[in-house]
């Protein structure tokens, strides 16, 4: 018999934990900062309802109806579509190899925070701590990162190996405690001098920025990645729900909870940036444009200036680690669920150890002196895989399985019913938005983008990714993406529909003749 979550609340908390990971604290604030401040919030909230919640309902509906992980859920529609589920797992696997390394950094920084060891120059400290070398040239491995990475995977293993009920108990802690810390940091941030200057930048929309398609694409990408759509996670988690569990209400609660955590984290970060900007005599906008380095380079410098700096630094990085742990648990469980659905003879604990050990071993490449650059490249290109999985999901469900068929199942389970507009969202609007996102990203990463940009007079938008235009790292990134696509296609091709069982001869009861059925 399939395992079940301990309660409906447990399912909601673990799903929120999967969605609200490092991206909410690390990625969301810098996207706001680099995309027009408050202007980013408007498309983010609009697209959350237009695309995020419908996609979340799709994955919950599929997993709950099929009662299987991502691979078998799509295989039940048609054998070859199992390749979509396999692609989702591969994306989650690749992300897991480097996501845990970022968790290792947060674990190390929670230790460094005990004495504010980064001193007055957090940027140099970060580069020295990771022994950052030349892009694409590996000359050494960083022992501290390897040890922290091993600790991370040890915690993940013991969080997952006992099954979903144990995951539920652990995730409650690693979700609710960080939320409490986040609220504490919010209160502390609001009372910092000049905090409201940073908050004003955060919530004041630059309406001119709304005309920039890049702002809308950034908002769409954040929703897509933050809600864990396309990883197979939500399909796996929903498969442990009862078939009659409410889908619509769960999707709305989880999506809004994820958005709430992201928006609150923005208040925490920008109130701190307002305080720091006043101390250093620089504009908030300059600090807000720091990009991905915001958490590990800019924020530690701000923490140095705060009262009770050590205390708030420790709990900040501890919060990051726990939020990352909740997301990593979900990615690992999604992989294990799909394997367990097919490999019934394997012991689940052994399977869990195997998955964790292999992912840890591959992740060692990011624990080298070139690991930061490799991580950056892989993270960028694996997003294509995630977008492609999402596109194939809506096309297969919308046009082959049937959007109306899924909507009927969702409505039969849910207290809040969705109208026929859901079919339009899944069949037309969602594919169109995802295709635009995909084309926009391809234009930015290929020579074709430079040609189009030159023709339109906007070359700056289509610059090559980062500073890797002449590096073999770009080739490595494209190779990882190609491997995911080819492996998924081959997996789908090699799938064979299960033969129908034939009834044994002589087991069918023949209809008695008419005279024998005649009442006497």
pLDDT value at residue 516: 46
What are the residues facing 37 on neighbouring strands? Answer: 205
Asked if 46 contacts 220 with a C-beta cutoff of 8 angstroms, the reply is no
Asked if 76 contacts 68 with a C-beta cutoff of 8 angstroms, the reply is yes
The pTM is what?
A: 0.89
Cα–Cα distances in angstroms (integers) from residue 56 to residues 15, 227, 235, 237, 456, in the given order: 10, 7, 9, 12, 36
Query: Which phi-psi region, left, alpha or beta, contains residue 138 (left: φ > 0; alpha: ψ -120 to 50)?
Result: beta
pLDDT value at residue 81: 95
pLDDT value at residue 450: 58
Predicted confidence pLDDT, tens digits, the chain (520 residues): 788 898 899 999 999 999 888 878 878 887 888 787 788 888 999 999 989 999 999 999 999 999 999 999 999 999 999 999 999 999 999 999 999 999 999 999 999 999 899 998 988 999 999 999 888 889 999 999 999 999 999 999 999 988 888 899 999 999 999 999 999 999 999 999 999 999 998 988 878 888 888 788 888 888 887 888 889 999 999 999 999 999 999 999 999 999 999 999 999 989 998 998 898 888 888 877 665 667 888 889 888 888 889 999 999 999 999 999 999 999 999 999 988 888 877 788 899 999 999 999 999 999 999 999 899 889 888 989 998 999 999 999 999 999 999 999 999 999 999 989 999 999 999 999 899 888 888 877 776 655 555 555 554 444 456 666 556 788 888 899 999 999 999 999 998 776 655 555 555 555 555 544 444 3
Q: In the chain, what are the domains? A: 8-370 (1.20.1740)
pLDDT value at residue 279: 87
DSSP 8-state code for residue 32: H
pLDDT value at residue 29: 84
pLDDT value at residue 118: 94
What whole-number distance in Å separates Cα of residue 84 and Cα of residue 489?
A: 8
pLDDT value at residue 148: 97
Asked if 383 contacts 221 with a C-beta cutoff of 8 angstroms, the reply is yes
Q: What is the three-state SS of 194-241?
A: CHHHHHHHHHCECHHHHHCHHHHHHHHHHHHHHCCCCCCHHHHHHHCC
What whole-number distance in Å separates Cα of residue 252 and Cα of residue 471?
A: 43
What whole-number distance in Å separates Cα of residue 66 and Cα of residue 83?
A: 16
pLDDT value at residue 68: 94
pLDDT value at residue 460: 43
Half-sphere exposure of 40 (CA within 13 A, CB side): 27
Three-state DSSP class for 478? helix
């Amino acid at each position: 018999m399939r395992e079940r979550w301990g309660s409906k609340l447990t399912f909601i908390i673990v799903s929120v934990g999967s969605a609200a990971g490092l991206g909410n604290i690390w990625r969301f604030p810098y996207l706001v900062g680099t995309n027009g401040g408050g202007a980013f919030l408007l498309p983010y909230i609009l697209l959350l309802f237009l695309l995020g919640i419908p996609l979340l309902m799709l994955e919950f509906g599929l997993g709950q109806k099929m009662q299987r992980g991502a691979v078998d859920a799509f295989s039940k529609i048609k054998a070859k579509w199992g390749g979509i589920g396999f692609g989702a797992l591969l994306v989650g696997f690749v992300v897991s190899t480097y996501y845990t390394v970022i968790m290792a950094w947060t674990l190390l920084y929670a230790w460094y925070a005990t004495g504010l060891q980064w001193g007055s120059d957090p940027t140099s400290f970060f580069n020295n701590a990771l022994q950052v070398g030349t892009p694409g040239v590996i000359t050494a491995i960083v022992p501290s990162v390897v040890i922290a990475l091993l600790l991370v995977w040890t915690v993940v293993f013991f969080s997952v190996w006992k099954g979903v009920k144990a995951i539920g108990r652990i995730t409650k802690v690693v979700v609710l405690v960080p939320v409490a810390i986040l609220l504490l940091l919010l209160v502390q941030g609001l009372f910092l001098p000049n905090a409201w200057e940073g908050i004003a930048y955060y919530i004041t929309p630059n309406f001119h920025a709304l005309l920039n398609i890049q702002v809308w694409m950034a908002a769409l990408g954040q929703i897509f990645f933050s809600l864990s759509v396309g990883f197979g996670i939500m399909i796996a988690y929903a498969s442990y729900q009862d078939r009659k569990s409410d889908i619509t209400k769960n999707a709305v609660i989880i999506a809004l909870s994820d958005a709430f955590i992201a928006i609150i984290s923005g208040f925490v970060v920008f109130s701190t940036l307002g305080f720091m900007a006043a101390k250093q005599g620089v504009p908030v906008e300059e600090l807000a444009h720091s990009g991905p380095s915001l958490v590990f380079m800019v924020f530690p410098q701000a923490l140095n200036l705060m009262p009770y700096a050590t205390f708030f630094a420790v709990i900040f990085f501890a919060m990051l680690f726990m939020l990352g742990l909740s997301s990593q648990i979900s990615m690992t469980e999604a992989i294990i669920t799909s394997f367990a659905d097919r490999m019934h003879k394997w012991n689940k604990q052994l399977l869990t150890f195997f998955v964790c050990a292999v992912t840890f071993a591959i992740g060692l490449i990011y624990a080298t002196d070139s690991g930061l650059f490799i991580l950056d490249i892989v993270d960028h290109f694996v997003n294509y895989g995630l977008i492609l999985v999402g596109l194939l999901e809506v096309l297969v469900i919308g046009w082959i399985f049937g959007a109306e068929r899924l909507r009927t199942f969702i409505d039969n389970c849910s207290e809040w019913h969705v109208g026929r507009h859901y079919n339009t969202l899944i069949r037309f609007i969602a594919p169109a938005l995802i295709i635009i996102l995909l084309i926009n990203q391809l234009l930015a990463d290929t020579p074709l983008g430079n040609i189009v940009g030159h023709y339109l007079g906007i070359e700056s938008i289509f610059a090559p990714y980062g500073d890797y235009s002449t590096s073999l790292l770009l080739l490595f990134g494209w190779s990882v993406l190609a491997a995911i696509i080819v492996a998924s296609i081959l997996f789908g091709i090699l799938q064979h529909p299960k033969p129908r069982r034939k009834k044994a001869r002589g087991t069918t009861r023949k209809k008695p003749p008419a005279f024998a059925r005649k009442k006497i």
